Amino acid sequence: MNDETRSVFIEADPETVWTALANDENFSAWYAPGSVWRIPELEVGCKALFTLMPSEHNQLEEGEHVDMSFTITEVVPHSRFSYTADDDQLHFIFDLRPENAGTRVTVNMDGFQLSLENLKAFAEGRELPNI
């Protein structure tokens, strides 16, 4: 992980953006579409599971998948959601901040630009640009 951050302004209130981030069905819809997030309990210390499926944005071949496990480290409704990858200890932090008539979402690392574009479109009720 590096010290870069990425952010996006979303024309939606923090509650709407929070629901896109903290609900596994919604998270699955915009983050690596076709892959699946499972967040059985949205509580610190609980596990979140992610199954990455093949797409044009990764190197997986048809029929392959990668299962990943994360530990939820912070849950502050409408404000912050963070989790740590169990295999490599990468710590992902999504900060939400009201801004003008919408919400600014900042993630603590580089490499999330396509996902943030999808999150913006999803929360604004538009078609995802990166499928």
Domain definitions of the chain by residue range: 6-123
* Phi-psi group of 60: left, alpha or beta (phi > 0 → left; psi -120 to 50 → alpha; rest → beta): beta
3 state DSSP class of 108: coil
Q: pLDDT by residue (tens digit) across 57-102?
A: 788 889 899 999 999 999 999 999 999 999 999 999 999 999 999 9
Q: CA-based diameter of the chain, in Å?
A: 45
Choice among 10-14, 44-48, 56-60, 84-88 with the minimum mean pLDDT: 56-60
3 state DSSP class of 52: strand
Superfamily of domain 6-123, CATH level 4: START domain (3.30.530.20)
55 versus 98: which is more confidently predicted? 98
- Integer CA distances (angstroms), 115 to 27, 32, 33, 46, 130, in order: 10, 7, 10, 23, 8
* Per-residue pLDDT band at 3 (split at 50, 70, 90): low
Per the CB < 8 A criterion, the answer to whether 92 and 82 are in contact is yes
In sequence order, the 6+-apart residues with CB closer than 8 A to the CB of 105 are: 7, 8, 10, 17, 21, 94, 95, 96, 97, 116, 119
Q: Is the pLDDT of residue 2 over 60?
A: no
Predicted model pTM: 0.90
